[in-house]
Amino acid sequence: MSPQVDLLSYCKLIERKVLEPLDTEETADDLLPDGLEALRRELSLADVMGLIERTARWVDPRTFNYLPVWYPEHARRGLFYKANWSEPQMNRNRQTGVIVHKSEGNVHANKALTLALGLRAGERPNWSCCHIWGVDDAFYQVSNAVVQDRRFFSCVANMVLLPTPLKAFTDVMTEVKMMLRVCALHLYGWSCDHEEVNQIATQVGKWTNWNAYPQSWPMPGRSSLPLGTAPFSKRIKEAADRRKAAIQKDLASAGPHYPREEVRKVLAYWNISL
């Protein structure tokens, strides 16, 4: 028998062995666990909350009281206009050439939080704006009606600034999101009343699990400012005053696409005086 035939037979034998079913069944240890469960084995909820407590940046309650919503004309998926709200702002896809009307992602929520913390855009590399209230959906398959509402999209009590890697915890860990909401309730005296989150708001108001809740955060019977709270400063007040003046000007003279009635409703909801 030639060496070539022997080699061919050997390869076929190996192929049969590879394709044969294993005699042993997979055990639980052989399966890849849920990613969150794998993380919890290495990092407790208290550890995660400790990281957030020490690194998060919160808006001062005085800033919130001075100007609760900074861009009442904008909301997630809202359309952009240029030339003082008189012409649609279009985007061309570089690969397909398709032209579409540009819409809001998180641009003006980011701007609001940045200004309310007394920062400029270039002063916050690798930090992300995190909405505290929204429709909980770790798979991003459900329309987020809360941040599509102008009352809550650029509300500074509905946002916290986090190091970008930590934002993943708030996106997928329900316990983390709930404790952020509990903190916002006791820090700002505010809980989201959008109809989509009524049941969650009730749970937040009745919260009693303080085991992993950060020590510096406010709670019933303890008024405090979280670590990382940016004091209401002259710089922040001046930025808020500029926003108030811009809103007032737009209500009077912006182009035909400016959502005047919606903006007036937001101002009335928050009792904002310009």
Token representation of residue 125: 């590399």
Per the document, the length of the chain is 274
Tell me if 120 is assigned to some domain: yes
Tell me if 12 is assigned to some domain: no
Cβ within 8 Å of residue 39, ≥6 positions away: none
Q: Which amino acid is present at 206?
A: K
Tell me if 179 is assigned to some domain: yes
How many whole angstroms separate alpha carbon 254 and alpha carbon 33? 54
Side-chain-side CA neighbours of residue 226 (13 Å):
31
C-beta of residue 128 within 8 angstroms of C-beta of residue 164: yes
C-beta of residue 130 within 8 angstroms of C-beta of residue 161: yes
pLDDT at site 129 = 96
How many whole angstroms separate alpha carbon 9 and alpha carbon 156? 72
C-beta of residue 159 within 8 angstroms of C-beta of residue 181: no
Tell me if 204 is assigned to some domain: yes
Neighbour-count burial of 219, counting CB atoms closer than 10 A to its CB (0-12 exposed, 13-18 middle, 19+ buried): middle
Could you say which residues of the chain have pLDDT below 50?
none
C-beta of residue 212 within 8 angstroms of C-beta of residue 49: yes
Q: How many domains does the chain have?
A: 1
Tell me if 249 is assigned to some domain: yes
Tell me if 37 is assigned to some domain: no
pLDDT at site 10 = 56
pLDDT at site 122 = 87
pLDDT at site 19 = 59
Q: Is 58 helix (H, G, I), strand (E, B) or coil?
A: strand
Domain containing 91 equals: 45-270
pLDDT at site 171 = 85
Q: What is the DSSP letter of 217?
A: S
pLDDT at site 147 = 96
How many whole angstroms separate alpha carbon 227 and alpha carbon 244? 28
Tell me if 178 is assigned to some domain: yes
Residues β-bridged to residue 103: 79
CA quadruple 27, 29, 34, 40: dihedral sign: positive
Tell me if 40 is assigned to some domain: no
Token representation of residue 59: 């808006």
